[in-house]
Amino acid sequence: QVQLVESGGGLVQAGGSLRLSCTASGRSFSTYNLGWFRQAPGKEREFLSAISWTGSSSYYAESAKGRFTISRDNAKNTVYLQMNSLKADDTAVYYCAADRYRFSGWNRGPSLDAWGQGTLVTVSS
Protein backbone atom coordinates (compact mmCIF):
# COMPACT_ATOMS: atom_id res chain seq x y z
CA GLN A 1 0.00 0.00 0.00
CA VAL A 2 1.07 3.57 0.66
CA GLN A 3 2.98 5.04 3.60
CA LEU A 4 2.53 8.66 4.68
CA VAL A 5 4.78 11.00 6.66
CA GLU A 6 3.67 14.49 7.70
CA SER A 7 5.90 17.46 8.36
CA GLY A 8 5.66 21.22 8.79
CA GLY A 9 3.95 21.49 12.14
CA GLY A 10 5.17 23.72 14.91
CA LEU A 11 4.37 26.76 16.98
CA VAL A 12 2.79 29.75 15.29
CA GLN A 13 1.08 32.85 16.61
CA ALA A 14 -2.56 33.58 15.93
CA GLY A 15 -3.07 35.13 12.51
CA GLY A 16 -0.03 33.44 11.09
CA SER A 17 0.35 30.74 8.47
CA LEU A 18 1.82 27.28 8.13
CA ARG A 19 2.14 24.85 5.27
CA LEU A 20 1.95 21.19 6.16
CA SER A 21 3.41 18.54 3.90
CA CYS A 22 2.72 14.85 3.62
CA THR A 23 5.04 12.69 1.57
CA ALA A 24 3.86 9.34 0.31
CA SER A 25 5.70 6.24 -0.73
CA GLY A 26 4.69 2.80 -1.83
CA ARG A 27 2.84 1.13 -4.63
CA SER A 28 0.74 3.35 -6.89
CA PHE A 29 0.95 6.32 -4.54
CA SER A 30 0.21 8.83 -7.30
CA THR A 31 -3.25 7.34 -7.86
CA TYR A 32 -4.44 7.73 -4.26
CA ASN A 33 -6.98 10.26 -3.14
CA LEU A 34 -5.44 12.26 -0.30
CA GLY A 35 -6.68 14.43 2.50
CA TRP A 36 -6.17 15.99 5.90
CA PHE A 37 -7.70 15.51 9.32
CA ARG A 38 -6.91 16.95 12.71
CA GLN A 39 -7.47 15.99 16.32
CA ALA A 40 -7.46 18.61 19.03
CA PRO A 41 -6.78 17.74 22.66
CA GLY A 42 -9.78 16.01 24.17
CA LYS A 43 -11.71 15.99 20.89
CA GLU A 44 -12.47 13.47 18.18
CA ARG A 45 -10.70 13.43 14.84
CA GLU A 46 -12.08 16.05 12.47
CA PHE A 47 -12.07 16.02 8.68
CA LEU A 48 -10.54 19.05 6.97
CA SER A 49 -10.08 18.49 3.25
CA ALA A 50 -9.68 15.91 0.50
CA ILE A 51 -8.21 16.04 -2.99
CA SER A 52 -8.55 13.62 -5.87
CA TRP A 53 -5.57 11.73 -7.23
CA THR A 54 -5.38 14.01 -10.27
CA GLY A 55 -5.56 17.12 -8.12
CA SER A 56 -8.45 18.40 -10.20
CA SER A 57 -11.11 18.11 -7.48
CA SER A 58 -11.12 18.98 -3.82
CA TYR A 59 -13.52 19.85 -1.03
CA TYR A 60 -13.36 21.21 2.49
CA ALA A 61 -15.02 21.01 5.84
CA GLU A 62 -16.69 24.21 6.96
CA SER A 63 -14.00 24.66 9.59
CA ALA A 64 -11.33 24.77 6.88
CA LYS A 65 -13.12 26.50 4.02
CA GLY A 66 -11.76 29.94 3.24
CA ARG A 67 -8.61 29.62 5.35
CA PHE A 68 -7.05 26.31 4.35
CA THR A 69 -6.02 25.18 0.88
CA ILE A 70 -5.18 21.63 -0.15
CA SER A 71 -2.91 20.86 -3.09
CA ARG A 72 -0.72 18.06 -4.32
CA ASP A 73 2.38 17.58 -6.40
CA ASN A 74 2.43 14.07 -7.76
CA ALA A 75 5.96 14.49 -9.08
CA LYS A 76 7.07 14.99 -5.47
CA ASN A 77 4.65 12.42 -4.05
CA THR A 78 3.41 15.11 -1.69
CA VAL A 79 0.14 16.64 -0.56
CA TYR A 80 0.07 20.04 1.14
CA LEU A 81 -2.22 21.91 3.45
CA GLN A 82 -1.70 25.66 3.41
CA MET A 83 -3.19 27.14 6.56
CA ASN A 84 -3.74 30.88 6.85
CA SER A 85 -5.27 33.12 9.50
CA LEU A 86 -4.63 30.53 12.16
CA LYS A 87 -6.56 30.67 15.40
CA ALA A 88 -5.95 29.13 18.79
CA ASP A 89 -8.75 26.66 18.07
CA ASP A 90 -6.65 25.28 15.21
CA THR A 91 -4.25 23.75 17.72
CA ALA A 92 -4.26 20.02 17.02
CA VAL A 93 -2.35 17.08 15.69
CA TYR A 94 -2.79 17.12 11.93
CA TYR A 95 -2.91 13.85 9.99
CA CYS A 96 -2.82 13.11 6.31
CA ALA A 97 -4.71 10.15 4.92
CA ALA A 98 -4.96 8.24 1.67
CA ASP A 99 -7.48 6.02 -0.03
CA ARG A 100 -7.09 4.26 -3.32
CA TYR A 101 -10.75 4.54 -4.39
CA ARG A 102 -12.78 6.67 -2.01
CA PHE A 103 -12.92 10.40 -2.62
CA SER A 104 -16.34 11.59 -1.53
CA GLY A 105 -17.69 11.24 1.98
CA TRP A 106 -14.47 11.71 3.93
CA ASN A 107 -16.36 14.11 6.17
CA ARG A 108 -18.41 11.16 7.39
CA GLY A 109 -15.34 9.48 8.86
CA PRO A 110 -14.87 6.39 6.70
CA SER A 111 -12.10 3.87 7.21
CA LEU A 112 -9.31 4.93 4.86
CA ASP A 113 -6.41 2.92 3.50
CA ALA A 114 -3.52 4.71 5.19
CA TRP A 115 -2.74 7.36 7.79
CA GLY A 116 0.34 9.34 8.67
CA GLN A 117 1.75 9.61 12.16
CA GLY A 118 0.61 13.20 12.61
CA THR A 119 2.33 16.55 13.06
CA LEU A 120 1.54 18.90 15.92
CA VAL A 121 0.37 22.45 15.22
CA THR A 122 0.21 24.80 18.19
CA VAL A 123 -1.31 28.26 17.71
CA SER A 124 -0.65 30.77 20.46
CA SER A 125 -3.12 33.57 21.14
* Confidence band, pLDDT 50/70/90 cuts, at residue 114: very high
- Is the pLDDT at 109 greater than 90? The verdict is no
Q: Which residue has the higher pLDDT, 96 or 111?
A: 96
pLDDT in tens, 5-54: 999 999 999 999 999 999 988 766 678 999 999 999 999 999 999 999 88
pLDDT in tens, 68-83: 999 999 889 899 999 9
> Which among 81, 52, 46 has a CA at the least distance from the CA of 67?
81
* Least confident among 48-52, 100-104, 117-121: 100-104
17 phi, psi to nearest 5 deg: -135, 150
Q: How far does the chain reach from its first CA to its final CA, in angstroms?
A: 40
Give burial (CB, 10 Å; 0-12/13-18/19+) of 10.
Answer: exposed
